[in-house]
Structure 1
Amino acid sequence: MSESAKQVHPVDEILPLPKLFSYGLQHVLAMYAGAVAVPIILANALGLSTPDLIRLINADLFACGIATLIQTIGIGPVGARIPMIQGVTFASVAPMIIIGTEHGLPAVYGAIIVAGIFTFFIAPYFSRLIRLFPPVVTGTIVMIIGISLMPVAIMWIAGVSPEDPNYASSTNLWLAGLTLLIVVLVNRFTTGFLSNLSVLIGLLGGTMIAYALGEVNFIEVTQADWLGLVTPLAFGMPTFDVSSIIAMLVVMSVCMVETTGDAIAIGEIVDKKVDKKTLSSCLQADGLSTCIGGFLNSFPYTAFAQNIGLIAVTNVKSRFVVATSGVVLMILGLFPKLAAVVASIPSPVLGGAGIAMFGMIIASGIRSLGNVDYENSHNLMIVALSIGVAMIPIGAPQFYHNFPPAAKIIFESGITFGSILAVVLNMVFNGLGQRDIKK
């Protein structure tokens, strides 16, 4: 029995229930703000009522949980079975707003359903491109993911607009700094279980400090309903507009590139090779989850890059931990009052923890690139140009504002454009299948 236990890969390890719940809750807290951001943005843009917004948020969380379970536990051949939490892709926001404004929500969900089916069936063919992702490409993509996410943490800390009187206020900076300090201290002076919970402890400690300062608002908790069932097709039967479907197909094509990068990044961190078969299963899970999301009044789903950093920080590699996160998300989707409690965590507190999480993604990319051969300048050029163009939308968010909407989906995502360029440059300089690792 002991010999058999030693052969279990950390990804497939089933931890005791208290650890599963604690680590899983940590993942939920880390991704919650991003998970609910899309329905909030969409509802505000389309002028939906508050009850409709609550319906969208509940459906989103519930579908997030289903998508995460499909990806981590799997259904037959579908699902990568790695610790990958699922969330709504931000690449879909702009197209959904345009579709919803012109054709209504039924057209949005019709396009999502078709795009999900398309992704499911195209996944086995797309996965054959795995050979285009050698270490120089994967390491670069992992770095780009971390660098591209860092502004999210900064925005959580400072706020959205510099014109806001509270932008980067001393209170926000103190909350973020103290949260980060708690994460560092727990990581430094504890071991084992507590050390792995450093981010969760930081979030709880930061929230308690914020509450003492009067910066936590529980009004939404008191006003939220106890139970909110998710009703399929609550906004009517889906309609199928050709132009809307084409726009969403572009979104899902971009998502497949991002998911490929995220899956490879997770594989690097958990020491489990993501091969063609695994990637195909991963992308099929995205397609199936997106299709389900369309029926449940939700959105397109893909890997949530934010949580890759949490895996790196905690070194907890079990996919069953993330599967537990899926269960928690489904429960939050059914009980709005519980979801409101999680939503009460102040943004600066999330930002303080985010700096540690996203920084660890960057560090993981650096570690991967440390094994790359730089004897010739080709690999150095691949890394330099890919990261360089990925930084453009970070430094100048409106840089591509004159581009057509379909092109903006690709170029305005530093992760997507940087990943595509890394693959293309590697093909140009190194060809197909050439090894780039140090001898």
Structure 2
Amino acid sequence: MNKLLYQVDDHPPLIMTVLLALQHMLAALGGIIAVPLVVGAVLKLPSDQMVALVNAALLGSGVVTFIQCKGVGPVGIRLPCVMGTSFAFVGAAISVGLEHGVPGILGSSLAASLVMIVGSFFMPQIRKLFPHSVTAVVVTMIGLSLVPVAIDWAAGGKAPGANYGAPMNLGIAVFVLVAVIALVQYGKGIFSAAAVVLGMFIGYLVCLGLGMVDFSSVHKAEIFALPQPLHYGLTFPLSGIVAMAIAYLVTMVETTGTFMALGGATQTKMRGKLLARGVLCDGLGSAFAAVLSSPPVSTFAQNVGVVSLTGVASRHVVALTGVLLALAGLFPVLGAVVVTIPQPVLGGAGLMMFAMIIAAGMQMLSKVEQNKRTGIIIAVSVGCGLAVTVRPELLSKLPAFVHEIFGSGITVGALMAVFLNLVLPERPVETGDEEDELVPQAMLTKELEVA
């Protein structure tokens, strides 16, 4: 396992801490803003309500990120964990919103957050469902599921589009990717640790010179905006609560996998009690976000890539990221400046970060005991996860609740790995066939903790 530049409880120098915190913020900001924008656009909210939704999402994500990193009593995993609004809730939010409006979305989110809050008390039992073979699959699927996002960024948006895959977009993305690689490989100290943000800054300057930066969002943004708790009100439709509860169950599986990946990246033994604190913060944080008029929050997988790439595992760095996100919610003009970063710049850096998660997953897979049983678990789980990742239209003709549950490659891969791990027998084969001899589950779990 690679040596960390800064351990979980280390305090880097102030300037480096600020740069590293900004690095995490840049990796997460697009995802945080995207969810309220997508939901608001579908519900055709007026511009002032869209702005309020985005500001609430930034503020809520920042506060919950700070608590997750620093910890308050039994709440918070105390690892470098960025929280943000999750696309896992978009389908449920839109279906509820079309019938019951934003008050129905927020009320359903608040009520259904009990699923995650109660579920956190059973994390020691849930942890047993994630031995080394299963965890390796989940970590790998996190990276594989995020790479298409980086590719779309690099190409300049969503396909098909008039500018999708334009040579200029791809050239900028490759330039940023090369810059990040050079800084990681040859940079020293702060230049290596802050490679992502420095590479993006260089790419941003190039785009600025080419006239690719649009400042219209900055001109329209308010300088300061107070939070507006219960701005939309709350209603509690039963159908909405059920839909959100399913989304929370799916998110709990994804969050568990992300925490396991984070444990590997930070060299932390991911025990059941530690998972419980993190999931409890997710649940309580989503309840807080609903009161704040924000969509639910969950742990961002992409920021695990930042930790893996830079070797900076300090939770105090990411706690400052929480402060920066909260400030962006209170000062919308700050968030608007960050939004001006062209997508190809994000794509070049994102491809590097997400590929690092795949590399971490492959390293974990290489340590899994090689036999027929684990081979089936890995092959089928990754294959099914990739199926819905590269061909999301696969589920288009199935009922909406099926798409809600199985629309994420991370979730499908994780659920399939857990299921196969439970149902496939662990009986040893004939004596002498050492290649197929099975290792008890406890040994695999112990191996993960040692790693």
Q: Quote the residue 1:333 is aligned against.
A: 329
Q: Give the 4+ runs in structure 1 shifted more than 3 A.
A: 159-163, 430-434
2:31 equivalent to 1:34: yes
Counterpart of 1:11 in structure 2 is 8
- Deviation per CA, 1:254-297, whole angstroms, max 9, x where unpaired? 11101100001000111101111001111100011000010011
- Structure 1, residues 67-92: CA drift from partner, whole Å, max 9, x if none? 10121111111111111110111111
Residue 69 (structure 1) aligned with residue 77 (structure 2): no
Equivalence for 2:192: 195
1:369 alignment partner, one of 351, 365, 369: 365
Q: Residues of 2 paired with 1:87 and 1:404: CA distance?
A: 28
The one of 405, 414, 425 aligned to 2:409: 414
1:288-327 to 2 correspondences below 5 Å: 288-327=284-323
SS where residue 132 of structure 1 aligns? coil
Query: Among 380, 395, 399, which residue is 1:400 paired with?
Result: 395
Structure 1 residues 430, 78: closer, same or farther in 2, change over 3 A? farther
Q: 3-state SS of the aligned residue for 1:87?
A: strand
- Partner in structure 1 of residue 386 of structure 2: 391
Aligned residue pairs, count? 429
Identity %: 39
Deviation at 1:109, TM superposition (A): 0.7
The residue aligned with 1:5 is none
* Further displaced range: 55-64 or 215-224: 215-224
Per-residue deviation, 1:116: 1.7
Map 1:151-300 to 2 at 5 A: 151-236=148-233, 238-300=234-296
Aligned to 1:51: 48
**Stretches of structure 1 lacking an aligned partner (at least 5 in a row):** 1-8
Q: Does structure 1 retain, via aligned residues, the 8 Å contact 2:389–2:408?
A: no
Q: 2:231 aligns to what SS in structure 1? A: coil
Deviation, structure 1 residue 396: 1.4
Is contact 1:63-1:330 (8 Å) kept?
A: yes
Decide which of 96, 100, 118 is 1:121's aligned counterpart. Answer: 118
In the TM superposition, residue 159 of structure 1 has moved relative to its aligned partner by 3.7
1:163-222, Cα deviation, whole Å (9 max, x unpaired): 422110011011101111110111122122210111001110111101111000112112
- Deviation, 1:433, is 3.9
Q: Is the 8 A contact 2:68 2:81 kept in 1?
A: yes
For residues 193 and 316 of structure 2, the distance between their equivalents in structure 1, rounded to whole angstroms, comes to: 15
- Distance apart, 1:20 and its partner CA: 1.6
TM score, norm. by length of structure 2: 0.92
Letter of the 2:396 partner, please give it.
Answer: H
**Any gaps of 5 or more consecutive residues in structure 2?**
1-5, 427-439
Kindly indicate whether the alpha-carbon contact (under 8 Å) linking 2:31 and 2:86 is maintained by their aligned counterparts in 1: no
After TM superposition, give the deviation of residue 401 of structure 1 in Å.
Answer: 1.1
8 A contact 1:131–1:433 mirrored in 2:
no
Question: Letter of the aligned partner of 2:38 in structure 1?
Answer: I
The alpha-carbon deviation at position 98 of structure 1 amounts to 1.0
1:357-415 per-residue CA deviation (whole Å, 9 max, x = no partner) reads 000000001111121110x2111111111100001122212100122222212211000
Distance 2:94 2:365 in 1: 38
Measured in 1, the distance between the counterparts of 2:279 and 2:71 equals 12
Considering only aligned residues, what root-mean-square deviation do their CA atoms show, in Å? 1.6
Calculate the TM-score normalised by the size of structure 1. 0.95
Q: What is the distance in 2 between the residues matched to 1:168 and 1:258?
A: 30
The amino acid of 1:348's aligned partner reads P
CA distance in 1, matches of 2:425, 2:374: 8
Equivalent in the alignment of 1:342: 338
- Distance in 2, matches of 1:93 and 1:87, equals 13
SS in 1 for 2:392: coil
Whether the aligned pair in 2 keeps the contact of 1:85 and 1:304 (CA below 8 Å) is yes
Q: d(CA) in 1 for partners of 2:131 and 2:114?
A: 29
1:145 pairs with 2:142: yes
CA displacement at 1:160 relative to structure 2 = 4.1
C-alpha displacement of 1:430: 5.6
CA distance in 1, matches of 2:157, 2:216: 22
Provide the rounded CA distance (Å) in 1 between the counterparts of 2:159 and 2:408.
22
Deviates more, 1:135-144 or 1:401-410: 401-410
